[in-house]
Structure 1
């Protein structure tokens, strides 16, 4: 059995074995017959994955009966508007989406970060569960300044970022964070198995958060394990305007052309919008294969490949299960944090043709999202 077939079988087997919502009692219960459980939302900025995962979590709660079935609208980057819509329109006899429960320091605005945290701390006791998104949110809430249950999603490396103690223990009774310990190690290994590159380009911000977002520990570990060289280019995204962050990524993309034979597209504030559009154009025109750390959405927009997220459906089901167990009285710390994502590939065949890459049968067998 090839690496791809074996890896796919193992990961798919474990995801359904470990995180089947039917393995736990997640049926809804009323809080006290008079009031409903109040949910809040806390994010560091308007990152696209945050809203996708939130919606899939809500769909998971619909499947288990906590909220009534409905279609969730798209308000683009206006996450606050979506939360306000949810507070007024989602029907449930069990939970409510607190209208005063949206917390975000603008779009990753460092000057507003502390005041956002302080605003939350004043209201923390009003909520029964906080759905938190991203590294900033995790760092702001993983402390003993409050004891409101927190469920953290969409963090590149919650352990490396100092948010939780370990994959098996968050370190705080009221805190839970989804962990996929070897996610990026698997990504890099799969990409190397397919492309056999010797020099891998990486654009990142050289800060604690930037290294975490880019999974630099995993990249450095696999560079040694698989004997390839990392060609790094630093592109600042903290404390700069979004247009400047995008220009920094574009500049780095131009700088590493001719120095690399593949590129790993990291999670980076400037690797969105025009930054991503121009960057991927540069790589494709120069026939440089690219792997998106983020996922299939970037493949749809021109990256060669990534790990398929199946619309984040399974991630949403996992978080819905965790939320239900917390609301039913379990301590967040006592709920398993490890989630193994299925190793299925998203592949852009148009990009493959453009750069002269011909996928083998093995590769096509594990590609469940093919963009043509």
Structure 2
């Protein structure tokens, strides 16, 4: 899927890639206003990633820059990501925005030539994008939606104290999901719980994997895995029908039928991503922009419709125990 969004933004003060001149009214040769191109590559369309993209674009629109945005979607085909990034290079974009870990890993291969800003990467160091979050060592930086696995599983055990087994549904080819699996295993080891894995490689395998976990576990945890998120209608239908609690890694996945999570607001993630792009277009090096990890100001998100359908009636108690509970229908 391909979309071309052209944003003609009014300019109050135009910055070149190398900063402002002494008049603070920099213009390109011939007095024309400087224009920029930003390429946005997204592994797949689903609400969390769409929210990030829309918030990033909105932030660019609110700036005083003249930006043309090229948007490409790989439709969950990782083999297309490098092709898309090569196209951006051929189009001579000024910045690549890479949404989700697979997109970021593909875009990183082009960072010698083009600044890259990633978003929604759970583990930027583990994915090999940067070596130091505070001081990115290359032409790449971005925002991280690091899942607070311990907090989500604490919530699962709080809501279902009899839990003994946790099912983990994920795509084994997604680095962020593999990283979160290790965190789940570590939590389970410390809390005398058993983990049952169900790995998939595409959305066509999600139904069978979900049913396997329903049969073997007390609760299921699906991280912010792009493949699983794309098949949430299937996962939610099966878990709701079987009254199996489904805990997820993103607020949008709660909206798509997961029971609950502890997480961030993805619009804020996109806004911060857009801010980074603006800084780079104004002349700041990506290596001077620390990776921003969203791990504070978290909320408990719970789907009230799903809660009712599976027989969970403790929402009032959750509100007493947690400062910020967001009810989703």
| TM norm structure 1 | 0.71
Maintained 8 Å contact 2:151/2:262 = no
Inter-CA distance 335–185: structure 2 relative to 1 (3 Å threshold):
farther
1:355 aligns with 2:317: no
1:59 aligns with 2:58: yes
Inter-CA distance 367–290: structure 2 relative to 1 (3 Å threshold):
farther
1:96 corresponding residue in structure 2? 67
Q: Distance in 2 between matches of 1:324 and 1:145?
A: 17
Q: Distance in 1 between matches of 2:115 and 2:328?
A: 40
Shift of residue 362, structure 1, vs aligned partner:
5.1
1:256 aligns with 2:206: no
1:40 corresponding residue in structure 2? 39
Maintained 8 Å contact 2:101/2:175 = no
**Can you give the 5+ residue segments of structure 2 that lack an aligned partner in the other structure?**
1-11, 17-25
2:15 corresponding residue in structure 1? 30
Shift of residue 335, structure 1, vs aligned partner:
1.2
Q: Which has the higher helix share?
A: 1
Shift of residue 360, structure 1, vs aligned partner:
5.5
Q: C-alpha root-mean-square deviation of aligned residues, in Å?
A: 2.8
Maintained 8 Å contact 1:234/1:252 = yes
Maintained 8 Å contact 2:255/2:328 = yes
Shift of residue 42, structure 1, vs aligned partner:
2.4
Q: Distance in 2 between matches of 1:39 and 1:206?
A: 31
2:4 corresponding residue in structure 1? none
Q: Distance in 1 between matches of 2:245 and 2:81?
A: 37
Of residues 73, 76, 80, the one that matches 1:112 is 80
Q: Distance in 2 between matches of 1:263 and 1:28?
A: 51
Q: Distance in 2 between matches of 1:170 and 1:199?
A: 38
2:144 corresponding residue in structure 1? 179
Q: Distance in 2 between matches of 1:230 and 1:329?
A: 47
Inter-CA distance 322–303: structure 2 relative to 1 (3 Å threshold):
same
2:156 corresponding residue in structure 1? 191
Q: Distance in 1 between matches of 2:258 and 2:175?
A: 21
Shift of residue 110, structure 1, vs aligned partner:
4.3
Q: Which has the higher strand share?
A: 2
2:246 corresponding residue in structure 1? 290
The aligned length equals 300
Q: Distance in 2 between matches of 1:59 and 1:52?
A: 10
Shift of residue 144, structure 1, vs aligned partner:
6.5
Shift of residue 309, structure 1, vs aligned partner:
4.1
